């Protein structure tokens, strides 16, 4: 239930925001899962959702850890 104006407390506002963000996260997670199931590995690579094929030629670990 949405409250407006002076009726809304900070706790109520935060609860509503939390519920809205959680609903959006669930929706996006479902969309992404369906989207990824429908694509082939080649399509995922072409659209940038997967790196394939990938080959590591060397690795060097430092303070910032990176791969070459």
Alpha carbons 47 and 20: distance in angstroms, whole number: 29
* Position 65 pLDDT exceeds 70: no
Domain boundaries, the chain: 7-67
Distance (Å, rounded) from C-alpha 15 to C-alpha 23? 12
For the chain, give the mean pLDDT: 82
Give CA 68 to chain center in angstroms. 26
Structure confidence at residue 48 (pLDDT): 86
pTM here? 0.52
For residue 19, pLDDT beyond 90: yes
Residue 66 forms beta bridges with which residues?
A: 60
| Residue 7 scores a pLDDT above 80 | no
Shortest CA distance to 49 belongs to which of 59, 60, 38, 58? 38
């Amino acid at each position: 239930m949405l409250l407006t104006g002076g009726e809304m407390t900070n706790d109520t506002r935060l609860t509503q925001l939390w519920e809205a963000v959680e609903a959006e996260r669930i929706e996006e997670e479902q969309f992404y899962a369906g989207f990824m199931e429908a694509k082939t590995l080649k399509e995922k690579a072409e659209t940038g959702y997967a790196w394939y094929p990938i080959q590591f030629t060397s690795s060097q670990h430092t303070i910032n850890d990176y791969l070459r």
